[in-house]
Amino acid sequence: MCGVRMVRLSKLTDYASVILAQMARQPDVLWSAGQLSEDSSVPKPTCIKLLKLLVKSGVLNSTQGARGGYSLARPPSQIPVKTIIEAIEGPTAITECGTDETLCRLTDHCSVMSRWRELGDQVDHILTKTTLEDLISPHTLYARSDRRIETLEVH
C-alpha cells in the first residue's frame, strides 16, 4: 500500500534550525563547526553531520582547509523551512500508489489517497512560504500580514 509523509520535525531538524538561526543572525561570518557546536550546544559530531547535510542540499556553502567553515548560501528570507526539513530528513515526497486498479476501485483507496495528497500540498504550501527569516524573527508568524497563509486556489 501507500505511504505518505506530510511533515515530521525530528530532533536533528530542531538542532539544524537552531544552528541555522545562529548563522542567520550574522550572515557574513564564516562559522566553524566547533564554534557552532559551542554556541548551539549541539554535540560536535552531530553538528558536523548536520552541516554536511546542509551543504549537500545547497543551504550552506563550505570552505575547506584551515580557517575554513560554513556560511549561508542565500539570504535567510530565501531559505524555506521546507528546504531545511528536507535537507535533514530527506524528501517529504509522496510515494506513488501501488494498489492494483480493481482493488483500488473497490476500496476507494486511491480516491482517499488523493485527498491526503491534497492535504500534504496545503502543508507544503505553508512550509514553503515560511523561511529561515521567519524562524529568527521575534514576531509571531501570524502578525506578519505578508506571510499569512492565504486561501489556496483551485488547480
Interaction between residue 76 and DNA (CB under 7 A): no
β-pairing, 60-63 vs 69-72, is antiparallel
Q: Scan residues 12-31 and list those touching DNA (CB under 7 A).
A: 12, 15, 31
The whole-angstrom separation of Cα 12 and Cα 107 is 38
- In the chain, the amino acid numbered 129 is K
Q: Which does 89 bind (CB under 5 to 8 A by kind): a copy of itself, DNA, none?
A: DNA
> Roughly what angle, to the nearest 10 degrees, separates helices 44-56 and 81-89?
110
Using CB under 8 A, list all residues that contact a copy of itself.
1-11, 14-15, 17-18, 21-22, 25, 39-41, 81, 103, 106-109, 111-116, 118-120, 122-123, 126-127, 130, 134-138, 140-143, 148-155
Q: Site for DNA (CB under 7 A): which residue of 45, 103, 144, 149?
A: 45
Interaction between residue 154 and DNA (CB under 7 A): no
Cell of 107: 476500496
